[in-house]
Amino acid sequence: MYPIVAIVGRPNVGKSALFNRLVGQRLAIVEDVPGVTRDRLYAVAEWLGRRFTLVDTGGIEAGVDLRAAATDELARIRANARRQAEAAAREADVVIFVVDGREGYNPLDDEVALILRRAQRRVVFAANKVESPSARQATTAEFARLGFGEPVGVSAIHGEGTGDLLDAVVAHLPAEGEELDEDELAIAIVGQPNVGKSSLLNALVGQERAIVSAVPGTTRDAVDEVVERGGRRLRLIDTAGIRRHVDKRDPIEYYSSLRSLAAISRSGIVLLLIDAMKGILAQDRRLAGIAIEERKALILVVNKWDLALEQGGYGQGELTEILHQQLGFASYTPVVFLSALTKRGLGKLLPTIDRVAGNLRRRVPTAQLNETLREAMLAHPPPPLKGRRLKVFYASQPYDNPPGFALVANDPELVHFSYERFLENVIRQHFDFEGVPITLHFRERSGAEAS
């Protein structure tokens, strides 16, 4: 999983603006009012070839009365923001401690500094709202009393100094983990709390590796287990359940969800467990969407199938059709029915994983690809757009794992999303890409290709 970098500081020092600047998107709401950011916000950032999960936090305030939080709404919000920021300091691999370089030292900065010293985390010290070299020099001596050395002067609004700040962050990141062996396949087991993820891990491993409990939330962190199956090495990643609305009073639960999403990012195949007694829920659709957005192969695993059989109802064929209708954007995914606890149906899962893993690396011969697309476009020509019609001159597959196709066309802007979906379905119908996302890249023909 990616290292976690948390941005902490007192209210109104510009943490959210800095967060937006570092991730290159406007994800956090930025207002000149203290306390706007009350919940943590995260995004994956990259610098110098290193990826890390950046976390925005609410401001740490002094004098928060935890007893008043039980009855006073504002006190509760402030207490929650403080608890979450403290959790960020404890759980993060690196902390960016932000102070206000324009306003200067504030006694509340001491409160934040004390929390960071107790957390004993790697700290990158940053003074925000520093727009000039002279202001940058002035902040050095003023904040020396906090004990974190010379701050990196930045201006989150104008972007000045953020490159130096990211350099410092990358320098403090823990060493990169071992690269996955080419023969090793990383599989993330995800799903809602109490759906049977740890039971499935234990069944695949063949021993009691993960703690299994009927109480939701037993698994807090992602757990890796490497096993050998059929000559292939599988890295199984058990994760904590991801809820739609994370309990803001429980910072551990927030980070469990964060690490689960990170587990999806570093996997090749995602096993999405669905409770056979409940069917597809909104959160299941969200998780499937995340896996597809991350370009991961996806397998739907319907767990507790033995309990569903006892109550009667749909057969596997009918339920597969229903699941594909409910997940229209992922109707290409295989569905496996099993009981992780009794291991009934488990023998179908590993062959499905092998098949999908092979599809991830599948290469379509260029001649076959072009012939297939040409016949499909002749039978179903693209609709004209503004008096012009799309023409595809040539197609190839430059990428695999996951597969990506390049289509050279007269004008990529003539590609309607519905026709792009049609061409994707044509490729799926003629070549086996079950469980695997595929991408079509349209580009205009260059002068050299036209001659």
| pLDDT above 50 for 213 | no
CATH 3.30.300.20 fits 366-450, yes or no: yes
- The sign of the torsion formed by the CA atoms of 171, 174, 179, 180 equals negative
Q: Could you give the 3-state DSSP secondary structure of residue 411?
A: coil
For residue 216, the model assigns a pLDDT of 47
For residue 124, the model assigns a pLDDT of 94
Decide if 197 contacts 219 (C-beta within 8 A): yes
CATH 3.40.50.300 domain extents, the chain: 4-172, 184-360
- Residue 378 confidence class, pLDDT cut points 50, 70, 90: very high
* Measured distance CA(399)–CA(430) in Å, rounded: 18
| pLDDT above 90 for 168 | yes
Among 147-156, 219-228, 309-318, 352-361, whose mean pLDDT is lowest?
Answer: 219-228
CATH superfamily of 184-360: P-loop containing nucleotide triphosphate hydrolases (3.40.50.300)
| pLDDT above 90 for 376 | yes
Average pLDDT of 170-191? 76
Helix runs in 7-93, H state only? 15-23, 73-91
Average pLDDT of 237-265? 58
CATH 3.30.300.20 domain extents, the chain: 366-450
Structure tokens at 307: 């309990």
- Convert the pLDDT of each residue in 2-46 to its tens digit: 688 889 888 888 888 898 888 875 444 343 334 333 344 667 788
Average pLDDT of 214-239? 66
Decide if 112 contacts 8 (C-beta within 8 A): yes
Tokens 């727009």, located at residue: 131
For residue 38, the model assigns a pLDDT of 35
- Convert the pLDDT of each residue in 76-114 to its tens digit: 666 766 776 677 677 788 999 999 988 888 888 988 888
* Measured distance CA(404)–CA(360) in Å, rounded: 10
Query: What number of residues does the chain have?
Result: 451
- Convert the pLDDT of each residue in 388-432 to its tens digit: 999 999 999 998 888 999 999 999 989 988 999 999 999 999 998
Q: Which CATH class is domain 4-172?
A: alpha beta
**Nearest Cα to 267, choosing from 240, 289, 239?**
239
